[in-house]
Chains A and B, each alone.
Chain A
């Protein structure tokens, strides 16, 4: 079945450092891919998405490119801020399954001033 694998955290960075959180997936066909973010004490919010190969999703300085050849959707940001501290989830929308999502295990990011 479909699956999503993320790098384990926590990831600890200093403010203004470069961020990469790796995400790879296993799925049949060409699923849509998502990054969600969960700030402390809150539910998940959609951060960005990509619906087909080579699409780049971007939002709030974060970017991720849908790489079909490597089945990856790595999240990047050039300069992180303390306010980016959160848990980040990679997810895919299952094919022919309406709006059902499969999530990765989540990666906690801690940014220190």
Chain B
């Protein structure tokens, strides 16, 4: 069965800290995505990657960066966390064919 694993369910950090959110998939998928989920706004795409070492900006990349050193792992980085980055973060992956995205269970991040 498809499995997308996010390293933390809940995370609390302080303003100005550098924060890493990790995502691993076991399906050999080429495409991986990071979204944030906020009430009433649905999911908004932050960054995505079509292959190892490749990354593309999504709709709201400001304040974030990503890393894809291995095919199965896609990391989201908050360079200097701010309170407006408090949110639920969801990782997803899919193969390069016309297939649906598979989601992890999410990381609820609070920035104090």
Contact = CB atoms under 8 A, between A and B. Distances in A.
Interface residues of B, number: 26
B42 A99 contact: no
Contacts of B48: 100
Interface stretch (B70-78, B79-87, B93-101): B93-101
A42 B100 CA distance: 17
Given A89-B43, A104-B42, A105-B42, A99 B31 contact: yes
A106 B90 contact: no
Contacts of A46: 100-101
B99 A99 contact: yes
Interface in B25-52: 31, 33, 35, 39-45, 48, 50
Contacts of B50: 98
A89 B31 contact: no
Contacts of B42: 4, 6, 89, 103-106
A69 B107 CA distance: 39
Contacts of B45: 100-101
Q: For A34, A49, A98, which residue has the most chain B Cβ atoms within 10 angstroms?
A: A98
Contacts of B105: 41-43
Contact of B103 (A45, A104, A105): A45
A10 to B, nearest CB: 11
Nearest to B93: A99
Interface residues of A, number: 24
A12 to B, nearest CB: 17
Given A43-B4, A89-B43, A105-B40, A99 B94 contact: yes
Interface of B: 4, 31, 33, 35, 39-45, 48, 50, 58, 90, 92, 94, 96, 98-101, 103-106
Given A44-B92, A105-B41, 11 more contacts: A6-B42, A36-B103, A41-B105, A43-B103, A43-B105, A44-B103, A98-B31, A99-B33, A99-B98, A100-B45, A106-B40
12 contacts: A42-B105, A46-B100, A49-B100, A89-B42, A99-B33, A100-B48, A100-B58, A101-B43, A101-B101, A103-B44, A106-B40, A106-B42
